[in-house]
Structure 1
């Protein structure tokens, strides 16, 4: 697998995916009341939490075992048999608790919840199969089409008065398209399930479950706690800020998807040097994006929320900056955490997750009650900084992890130069409209890239290799 080309394909698709979603959220927040949009975010939170027992870490285990190249058909058949049981149990439980769920969330959508969960789990499972075949780049158009279908249907139905239900229907249809396409692209035959393969899968998945729980809790815990302690308006504002900061993780998530199966294959071949150099380069590349993004958020947080989503979302300006700092830690975690799991030590990654989630569970409600919903962002940022420290220590046990300190220092220099130019421009041209905002952001990107290109270490380590990949 060509890591550079595959990562570029995933990055382009995920960038388009993110902007489609970003545009959809902008439309929904301007069309529907904030308390109605919060119902959609709660739906996503619930379906995300339900996917944990429905999957039990099986997708990650399936990708890991397939990437090792041992008995692929039997591995896939065993994973699907296991998954069918867990998914059926969760769906029956949701249907049985339907009235309680509908009462808690304020809208009757149990049927859509079950349909969305089934479609999502089948689609994600077959995407994991394609990735386990070391064909990560082939999943890029599948994920993009899924998002385009969802947004197209959702916007159409919302514009015709379907409200939040229209968004949920679009979600179900998009996930169904994802499953059908991934299934058709899968090259691994479904073999006969075996107890031996199920045990092998479960040996990995039991720890992957903890990681999945941590990821879901990390993504949705703050929203749920804010929903319990504050109003729906704060839920929507926090989630909008969260979605904006997720744009920073496009690169790290794209690299994460590609290096997991490749490091797994190299680990089975004892290619330690290739693993070490790949991890070091990946860390340097992802921080090239997250460092200037934090500086930009500190300058334009209020304008981004106001001009894109509406003045009622400006209350999350401080939250946006804090979460952008947290995403800097998370972009690093994406590389280090997936490397630990690819080395077949998901237990260590799980330990770090348990500690950080525990810290977040305790700190988030306390800080929300004492300083407001900004406290949720502070709790999350602190917890995942601890996670980064722990995972670094664990990974260092198996490979020599070299953190690119000087490279990141140069990123900071280029980011400060960008900030100086932007602050000067703001004094002359105030940000009073969306066009001005976008123009100044584009200018900031150009200044950052120009200064970075003038720094030999950054040019040789990041920019030149990136241009080489783009040229193909």
Structure 2
């Protein structure tokens, strides 16, 4: 019988970064599992066109959400995490976000005739409501992150995502289609914000112009950098919708979501590290920052590399089995985007560390170059190669960004990669690939269960090889399991 109280007590004794990363990883795995199952249902229930409309809605929300935040959210996390007048910085950000959001909503209403697709699909109003709700939910989440409660933030983000899916499924079943998907997203944001507020301990206080000025200096560069990141994440979607039909948007974004399994560990780690690196930067603890970067990259690639290998070998059957025949044509896009996820590990951590080290202007310069190249390549390649062209454009510009960010970050700290760990990852992935490839060569993947079986075999083989070859991973995993105390006895043969 599990002692739940004892387990939670043991979890709290784990190193904060490990603990918060575990919590984040748990929610990443939980949501991705639910997200995959729900997307499979959506793909078969409403098809690529409806999903394409929903993904365009998300793209528009991301764009307008960026402008209503103005980069002040990241700046608030940075200033609050430094521990000096956190209430004043939160209050300044809250008022700024509210003013920007109200202004943005009024502009959207004024120019609503230009958003024919959103109006015709019935989700224009949902977009306005979502922007207004995030004007409250956003500052609460930033305040939680700034005070270092990343376990709470990650948990609430997981609740947000899961709640959204739980509401979207019956909405689709009842025939609400795109509006049901958008409404589910709104509900998830509200539910998570209510829960987060229970752990919120900042207060609205009077603030001075100096607080706004301090946020503005940092947010200006962060806003420009975020704009560039947004281009990488949404420009391809918008341009596919412009040059091609809405169905291709659905196929591309479903494949992109599918590749998200490669980012489990990196997403969990990077959300946890941001406030920590910010604090270490303030106290000039550079060795801790350098060590955290090398470990973060290694742990992120532990998952990203084998997923790339598995996607190459099994991707076509997985897309066909999970989403249907229409989505199987995205196999080539899948391979390219899995490569993007590997490169993104380096790109994201390098730019994140530049921001956390208080060098957002350099992060922006790096991103600005990639933005121009990304837009240009998308405009050239999408008409020539379709959604494959969009994926290639993203891969090329992500690689460029990673190289430039590495060069910029190297001027402020020593960027070290754990060569032995990376070698272990590559060798273990290669061996797993040989075994999975041999299985497919001799065993026809005639149905989804046979396909899932070979995925499980590959995962077990890879996990065993990593634990046997990498002593750091082995030691840390064993330490975490023993500290949690869930009754699992660590195998002596490992």
* TM-score of the pair, normalised by structure 1: 0.96
Q: Secondary structure at the match of 1:431?
A: coil
Task: Specify the alignment match of 1:378 in structure 2.
Answer: 392
Q: Distance in 2 between matches of 1:16 and 1:471?
A: 22
1:267 to 2:297 alignment: no
1:116 to 2:125 alignment: no
Question: Displacement of 1:121 after TM fit?
Answer: 4.1
1:58-207 map, 5 Å: 58-103=72-117, 106-207=120-221
In the alignment, which of 465, 468, 471 is matched to residue 479 of structure 2?
A: 468
How many equivalent pairs are there?
A: 469
Task: Specify the alignment match of 1:25 in structure 2.
Answer: 39
RMSD over aligned CA atoms reads 1.5
| Superposed CA offset, 1:81-130 (max 9, x none) | 11111111111111222232134674132211111122234323211211
| Superposed CA offset, 1:213-269 (max 9, x none) | 122211111111111111122111111110011221121111111111111111111
1:298-377 map, 5 Å: 298-377=312-391
Question: Displacement of 1:462 after TM fit?
Answer: 2.2
Q: Distance in 1 between matches of 2:391 and 2:285?
A: 39
| Superposed CA offset, 1:436-459 (max 9, x none) | 11111111011111222232xx2x
Task: Specify the alignment match of 1:287 in structure 2.
Answer: 301
Is the CA contact 1:6–1:137 (under 8 Å) kept in the aligned structure 2?
yes
Question: Displacement of 1:295 after TM fit?
Answer: 0.6
Task: Specify the alignment match of 1:241 in structure 2.
Answer: 255
Is the CA contact 1:286–1:332 (under 8 Å) kept in the aligned structure 2?
no
Q: Distance in 2 between matches of 1:186 and 1:195?
A: 24
Is the CA contact 1:279–1:335 (under 8 Å) kept in the aligned structure 2?
yes
Is the CA contact 2:88–2:211 (under 8 Å) kept in the aligned structure 1?
yes
Is the CA contact 1:17–1:148 (under 8 Å) kept in the aligned structure 2?
yes
| Superposed CA offset, 1:343-388 (max 9, x none) | 1111111111111111110011211222332011011001011111
1:4 to 2:18 alignment: yes
Q: Distance in 2 between matches of 1:411 and 1:149?
A: 35
Mean Cα deviation higher: 462-471 or 170-179: 462-471
Mean Cα deviation higher: 99-108 or 442-451: 99-108
Task: Specify the alignment match of 1:277 in structure 2.
Answer: 291
Q: Secondary structure at the match of 1:70?
A: coil
| Superposed CA offset, 1:3-44 (max 9, x none) | 011111011012212222222211111110321221111110
Gapped regions of structure 1 (runs ≥ 5): none
Is the CA contact 1:241–1:316 (under 8 Å) kept in the aligned structure 2?
yes
Is the CA contact 2:123–2:178 (under 8 Å) kept in the aligned structure 1?
no
**Given the superposition, is the C-alpha separation of residues 11 and 169 from structure 1 closer, same or farther in structure 2, using an over 3 Å criterion?**
same
Moved over 6 A (4+): none
Task: Specify the alignment match of 2:224 in structure 1.
Answer: 210
In the alignment, which of 231, 254, 273 is matched to residue 245 of structure 2?
A: 231
Mean Cα deviation higher: 388-397 or 112-121: 112-121
Is the CA contact 2:24–2:154 (under 8 Å) kept in the aligned structure 1?
yes
Is the CA contact 2:468–2:474 (under 8 Å) kept in the aligned structure 1?
no
Is the CA contact 2:49–2:247 (under 8 Å) kept in the aligned structure 1?
yes
Question: Displacement of 1:321 after TM fit?
Answer: 0.3
Is the CA contact 2:74–2:219 (under 8 Å) kept in the aligned structure 1?
yes
Question: Displacement of 1:63 after TM fit?
Answer: 0.5
Mean Cα deviation higher: 99-108 or 83-92: 99-108
Q: Distance in 2 between matches of 1:144 and 1:465?
A: 25
Mean Cα deviation higher: 275-284 or 405-414: 405-414
Q: Distance in 2 between matches of 1:79 and 1:140?
A: 21
Question: Displacement of 1:137 after TM fit?
Answer: 0.9
Q: Distance in 1 between matches of 2:117 and 2:170?
A: 27
